[in-house]
Amino acid sequence: MDVLSDAVAAMRTGLPHSSRRDEYAPWGMRFEASEGAGFHVVLRGSAWLVPAGGRPLALGPGDVAFLPHGRGHALLSAPEAEPRDVRLGPDGRWPRPASPVRDPSAGPPDTVLLCGAYLLDRSRAHPLLTGLPEVVHLPATIGAHRSLRAAVDLLGAELEEARPGADTIVTSLLDTLLLYILRAWWEREGQDGAGQPSGWAAALADPAVAAALRAVHGDPAHPWTVEELGARGGLSRAAFARRFTALVGEPPLAYLTWWRMTTAGRLLRTDDLPLRTVARRTGYASEFAFAKAFKRAYGVPPGRYRRRAS
């Protein structure tokens, strides 16, 4: 199983949204804090990204900026530009601010942007995502992140002109874009000062820990033991437990329980399965044992959680 895809799926709610924006200088947009995550891609021209309480970041053509934690920020044509407020709609969309009518003779826009948002459930945020910086900046570098660039090009083309099937295509491309952004960060940027993987990038790069994570994600219902998980990577029980805890941040069985409950929450939100089926799929022999563990993790019984999420 793919741990990165699972981490995203565990948090995702609703559908992602995106829009193409043509801006004429001077321009500025201020985005309020939200439960979701946002991204901006500069297709043409330049922009300044100003995180809440952070330093302005210059963005050039082809640059991608991902804001995983939903904090407020501004996007400006210049640091001194006055921003207009952009507020999320009820469905999580970022509406385009009203722009004055432009004289066709004024020429092409100074900046063309792709802006988008993903709706997330932060109550079960995977540490793979919570460990990201406030802004994931992926500069346009020749030959780098080719899959990411291809997804950006396809998304930009779909948003430029409405064509049959665009709704489904755009949603799929947005899901793909998010995974490409995260993959690019973890593969190229998730390193320490010596150029070695750090944090969860190190966990995914470690053969023994990665094998255990794949096993847990692939079959959370299995009654895994620390010894059995360690054997997946060729380590003794003690050596594996130390390495897993150091890289993941918690012991193997604690992570197993956390992932089981995260999987249970997703099943209750998205599927109309009987509770006994959800219990069985997450490693609990009885509905009573599952309900007790679920209430300990979420603070409410699973039935009430399902009704609240519907």
Say yes or no: domain 206-309 is CATH 3.30.360.10. no
Is the pLDDT at 141 greater than 80? The verdict is yes
Q: Do domains 3-188 and 206-309 have the same CATH topology?
A: no
Q: Domain extents for the chain? A: 3-188, 206-309
Higher pLDDT, 269 or 283: 283
Mean pLDDT of all residues in 19-41 = 89
Neighbour count for residue 165 (Cβ, 10 Å):
8
Residues 170-176: what's their mean pLDDT? 89
pLDDT at 8 over 90: no
| Statement: residue 260 has pLDDT above 90 | yes
pLDDT at position 97 is: 47
Q: List the one residue out of 225, 232, 17, 216 whose CA is nearest residue 126.
A: 216
- pLDDT digits 0-9 by tens, 178-232: 999 988 887 775 555 555 666 777 888 899 999 999 999 999 999 999 999 999 9
List the structure tokens of 291. Answer: 């309900």
Average model confidence (pLDDT) for the chain? 86
The highest-level CATH class for domain 3-188 is: mainly beta
pLDDT at 164 over 90: no
Please say if the pLDDT value at position 132 is more than 80.
Answer: yes
pTM of the model: 0.82
